[in-house]
Structure 1
Amino acid sequence: MNAPLKPAVILLSLALGACSLDPAYTRPDAPIPASYAVAGDGETAIRPDSWQAYFTDPELQRLIQAALDHNRDLRIAALRVEEARAQYGIQRADRLPAVDATAAYERSRALYTPDQTINTDLYRVGLGISGFELDFFGRVKSLSSAALESYLATQEAQQSARASLIAEVAIAYVNVRALAERIRLAGETEASRTQGYQRTQRRQQTGLDNALDLKAAELQLESAKASLAALRREQAQAVNALQLLTGQPGQPILDQDIALDRMAFAPLPAGLPSALLENRPDIRAAEHRLKAANANIGAARAAFFPRIQLTTNIGLADGHLSGLFSGGHAKVWAFSPQLTLPIFNHGRNRANLDLASVRREIGVAEYERAIQTAFTEVSDVLASREQIEAQITAQMRITDSEKERLNLTNRRFDKGIANYLEVLDAQRSLFDAEQQLVQLKQLSLSNSTTLFKVLGGEWQPQS
């Protein structure tokens, strides 16, 4: 090895093995209880390893897959990952020297005597390293680590967006199916009230019913028509919202007659709160951001120490272009390390270190908040699940009672014991009870979907 190049090689070796001034990272303790206040059912159930194993309805699976393929918000999240990956690649490249090929031509005129000047031509070609920082104190390494953690945080954010999108599509689909069921009930009610109105007309013409009974029957019929129109408007809007989530506006949704009772999802155990740290991508993203802030402290600390930049070049030179390649050239080299030691910069380095330290504390608080938010969301879902099921059981009994009440009232009306206003009141109460029962079943399915989301979505995320 040429003696002049040995110092550069030695310095380069030291730079690649630089020390680090990053603070030792320790994961903060999770500021949550060790268990949920309300234990979930099916604690021994096996966790599904994909969303397909949890959402088993074929049409819902088709819609979720369409959303994963075409949803623009998810596409933006994926592009953010690519952006962060590119930024990390740029930062990582700074840890290694960039070797450039150079070619130069120089023509100069020098004064040889008071009356004589000399023109000189010089051609040069070579390879060189320009401005490479020898990372003795780990500044560049810390910046590279921070960029890596930011990239990983962006990846986790994409997984979080994916889980949210899957849940949103499922909830929107349940809403469409619930509205279809409510429209069916409203249609049956309208048909029943049309028959009742026609019967009241005939009875009024024969003198069995009065004008007040006919007007009440007409009001009930128009109320049923208004409710049906409102539900159809809601259904059209719900379908549009679902199509937007799938990224395919205008694409039809399969009009399946699926009762909500047959849309139960697979059992999903809640597990322990500590599992949220590994399952929730938003918590993992917060921890990666915390690690990035930790690495930035190391970079800020390293700024207090000298920075050494290396510029070196080796090549060929000759006064004639043809001489560079015919053996008449001269070998030339240059080695110019530069040392920069901060002395007085008006407290800039101290302020940067303080800033990095504060941002790390912010990162700790955001990480802890993410954990507490996750714990609260799961607790809310578990607490609601039991009460929703109790509501459904009670509402089913109410609906059955309202059906029996209507049957009894109709029999009393046929025997002339009850008036038609009692029949109309019983019909109205049954319609309201049936609508509330469908809404509670919808709420139960939405609650199960939300549980999938707040527990972290997929446990083996697909690429």
Structure 2
Amino acid sequence: MNTMENLKTKRLIPAIALSIALVGCSAPKATVIRDQIKENIPQNFQPSTPQDTSHNSGATPWRQFFTDPNLVSLIETAITNNQELLITLQQIEIAKSNVGYKKGKLSPFVAAKLGTSLTKAGRYTSEGAGDATTEIEPGKEIPDPLGNFEGGLMANWEIDIWKKLRTEKAAAVAHYLSTVEGKNFVLSNLIEEVANNYYELLALDNQLDILRQYIGLQQKALDISRIQKQAAATTELAVKKFEAELAKSKATEYTIHQQITEKENQINTLLGRYPQEIVRTKDSFMSTIPPPVYTGIPSQLLANRPDIKQAEWELKSAKLDVEAARKEFYPSLEISATLGLEAFKPSYLVKMPESIAAGLVGELAGPLINKSAIKANFQSADARQIQALYEYDKTILNAYLDIANLMSKVKNIAQYYQLKSEETLALDQSIDIANQLFSNARADYLEVLLNQRDALDAKLELIEAKQKQLSTVVDIYKGLGGGWK
């Protein structure tokens, strides 16, 4: 290297260093965020009541939590066939492939190439004039037009000097882990939906049985009223009232039949199959005792609930995206290399070393002017980071409030069910008394009708209370993070 080239190199090195320094100083700073909701989470779900930290129902596998064999079978079918769950599994595969793509960018890209071309330079150009005076061999000029045949390897590698590519890979891994937690959340929701719809179906079955018993009582009351009318002990009005009430109850029966069909199909949809009968045992529904639930402490939600863990991974991924976007302001170093054979005639390709062609290029380039696109990308990543923080905080807060509400609901629904049981027992006794008085003409038909209606409503509400009692336990189990393990 001559003195002039040395001088140019010495001038170029400080210029490159100055460019890197200027670019580094111009890179903006990311917004500093804090997880205040996570830091301030209460110690207990109910401040006045200490919680048992040794038990948490959210850690119980669903096969141990649900004891009804028919329900367990339905859940197993849903886990295998549910379309939403299958779609979520493909989202995991997409995220996994993205991790592989980001990882691949860390390694050199090597490709094989094979090409041919034909060019003709103008006679009065520097290239054409040079070709016209150049001889390949004595007496043989370069062909015109000039062909070119080449084959070999080419490589390109971006050196990760700022760890930008590694940061992008880490962000992809965090997003992949969030999709795994998203699948767990979908699974938890699916189990909750199947269980709740199953209990609602059993409640409809029991309501239908109660309604049929009520129809039988009304039919007896109608028969008695007709006999009394013949004996002039009552009027035609009483007969018509009993006939109308009987017709109304029979119409309600068809409504419940339709609700049962729709509920069965709703369960079949969750199970990913065409309509078919749902196997179930309805006789033991009213005697089913909800399993006990233990809430543990609020901080355990951070480890048990998949939606919270999903939001946490998304927040981490968003933070890494900001870091990667910031490193776009720094220069990038790329190395390109080629090695192969090249000649203007195919037969010359085997003449070596004359036909061997090689090249090695290194480029260090960084943005200096018109960085609006890079700035916009950074600002977008920074905003998504803040948004992810709010989503994370909202998820934690909603999870805490859900458990607090459901704990209160479990206690209140138990008291409600107890009082409804007492009301139903009293009204059943009043029906027998009213029917006896009506048979002996000591009570009018209105008293009989009102007692029957009240008893029917109370029994239907009692069945609904049992369904809510069971569903609330399922909801709090899911709210504690149960169902996906």
Shorter-chain-normalised TM-score: which range? Answer: 0.7 to 0.9
In structure 2, distance between residues paired with 1:200 and 1:142: 85
How many residues of Structure 1 are paired with residues of Structure 2 in the alignment? 439
TM normalised by structure 1 equals 0.86
DSSP 3-state at the match of 1:101: strand
In structure 2, distance between residues paired with 1:386 and 1:276: 21
Quick one: structure 1 residues 263 and 94, their matched pair in 2 at CA, closer, same or farther if it must change by over 3 Å?
farther
Look up the match of 2:180: 155
| Structure 1, unpaired ranges of 5+ | 1-20
DSSP 3-state at the match of 1:261: coil
TM normalised by structure 2 equals 0.83
2:224 to 195, 199, 210: 199
DSSP 3-state at the match of 1:356: helix
Say whether residues 1:126 and 2:152 are aligned partners.
yes
Quick one: structure 1 residues 41 and 445, their matched pair in 2 at CA, closer, same or farther if it must change by over 3 Å?
farther
Task: Output aligned runs, 1:39-118, within 5 Å.
Answer: 47=57, 49-105=60-116, 111=129, 112-113=131-132, 117-118=141-142
Q: Which residue identity lines up with residue 360 of structure 1 in the other structure?
A: Q
Say whether residues 1:395 and 2:394 are aligned partners.
no
Look up the match of 1:379: 404
Give the CA deviation at 1:150. Answer: 1.6
Q: Which residue identity lines up with residue 43 of structure 2 in the other structure?
A: A
CA contact (8 A) 1:139 1:302 kept: yes
Say whether residues 1:211 and 2:228 are aligned partners.
no
Which moves more between the two structures, 203-212 or 39-48? 39-48
Give the CA deviation at 1:333. Answer: 2.4
Give the CA deviation at 1:309. Answer: 1.3
Task: Output aligned runs, 1:266-415, within 5 Å.
Answer: 266-317=291-342, 321=346, 331-415=356-440
In structure 2, distance between residues paired with 1:394 and 1:51: 31
Which moves more between the two structures, 68-77 or 99-108? 99-108
In structure 2, distance between residues paired with 1:43 and 1:32: 15
Which moves more between the two structures, 132-141 or 115-124? 115-124
Give the CA deviation at 1:428. Answer: 1.4
Task: Output aligned runs, 1:215-226, within 5 Å.
Answer: 215-226=240-251
Quick one: structure 1 residues 196 and 314, their matched pair in 2 at CA, closer, same or farther if it must change by over 3 Å?
same
2:168 to 123, 127, 143: 143
In structure 2, distance between residues paired with 1:238 and 1:22: 51
CA contact (8 A) 2:188 2:484 kept: no
Quick one: structure 1 residues 41 and 219, their matched pair in 2 at CA, closer, same or farther if it must change by over 3 Å?
farther
Which has more radius of gyration?
2
DSSP 3-state at the match of 1:216: helix
Look up the match of 1:37: 46
CA contact (8 A) 1:81 1:151 kept: yes
Q: Which residue identity lines up with residue 34 of structure 1 in the other structure?
A: Q
DSSP 3-state at the match of 1:381: helix
Give the CA deviation at 1:448. Answer: 1.0
CA contact (8 A) 2:306 2:481 kept: yes
In structure 1, distance between residues paired with 2:443 and 2:254: 31
What CA RMSD, in Å, does the superposition of the two structures yield over aligned residues? Answer: 2.8
CA contact (8 A) 2:60 2:482 kept: no
Quick one: structure 1 residues 347 and 145, their matched pair in 2 at CA, closer, same or farther if it must change by over 3 Å?
same
Identity of aligned residues (%): 25
Q: Which residue identity lines up with residue 209 of structure 2 in the other structure?
A: R
In structure 1, distance between residues paired with 2:461 and 2:53: 30
Look up the match of 1:166: 191
Give the CA deviation at 1:37. Answer: 1.8
Look up the match of 1:10: none
Look up the match of 1:15: none
Give the CA deviation at 1:168. Answer: 0.6
In structure 2, distance between residues paired with 1:342 and 1:67: 53
CA contact (8 A) 1:95 1:141 kept: yes
In structure 1, distance between residues paired with 2:339 and 2:70: 67
